[in-house]
Structure 1
Amino acid sequence: MILEIRTYRLKPGTREEFVRVMRQESIPLLAAHGIAVVDCGASLFDEDGFEEAYLMRSFASLEQRDAQEEAFYSSPQWRQGPREAILSRIESYHTVVMEASDAAVAALRR
């Protein structure tokens, strides 16, 4: 299994709305595209005056990740949906992709 952890450095004062849009709009859309969200939320620690958040997703393989992300990010549902509300709040982001056991992913799932 592949686990992707994405951390977001957000513009000050935007985290609450960013997490709301992620949970209420983006995650259901990801699920509709077959992308499994393990967890998302606000970081417990902020750095350098920036608010931070995270998103964890799991995939069966790197190839599946590439195909599902391409389909999702090019879809009209994303582009005409929560895309602007998400991207407008992000200062920068970082992605880590690693192998993980099914048990490890299940333990992280909320």
Structure 2
Amino acid sequence: MTAERLVEFRAYRLKPGTVQAFEQVFVEESLPLHQRWGMDVVAFGSPPDTTDQFFLIRAYADHDHREASQAAFYASADWVLGPREAIVRLIDSDSCTLACLPEPLIDALRNPSHPEVS
């Protein structure tokens, strides 16, 4: 049996005309922090043929790991004094869906067009 991990699918509705600015801040500032804090960013980006939307997919060992990881990350000076304000001011709303998925399916979701995500 293949082990499963908890996968978070986060969708953002951005303020009109800000998707490029959001993606730039995410790639240049937020993503490196996610990686430094050991968070598994599976994929991210703007869905094709949409405007003002962005998605982020992250994987965790389980619910406890997700809760502890995010609590530490979002309370850190790295985040609070770093890209937090630039990111938050561009978001109109967001939603989150969680699912337990097997590792091969998580790997299939990884976005090869973003080499910065391993």
How far apart are the structure 1 equivalents of 2:108 and 2:27? 20
Partner of 1:106: 107
Map 1:59-70 to 2 at 5 A: 59-70=60-71
The answer on whether the counterparts of 1:5 and 1:56 sit within 8 Å (CA) in structure 2 is yes
User: Pick from 14, 23, 36: which aligns with 2:27?
Assistant: 23
Map of 1:1-12 to 2, 5 A cutoff?
1-12=5-16
The 5 A counterparts of 1:1-110 are 1-46=5-50, 51-110=52-111
For residues 31-58 of structure 1, what are the alpha-carbon distances to aligned partners after superposition, in whole Å with 9 as ceiling and x for unaligned?
A: 1111100011112243xxx610100000
Give the CA RMSD over aligned residues: 1.0
% same residue: 37
Q: Which structure 2 segments of 5+ residues have no match?
A: 112-118
Following the alignment from structure 1 to structure 2, what is the Cα–Cα distance between the partners of residues 107 and 52?
A: 22
**Segments of 4+ moved more than 3 angstroms:** none
Question: How much does 1:61 deviate?
Answer: 0.7
Contact persistence 1:10–1:53 (CA under 8 A): yes
Please give the TM-score of this superposition, normalised by the length of structure 1.
0.93
**Cα distance, 1:12 vs structure 2:** 0.5
Give the deviation of 1:72 after TM superposition: 0.2
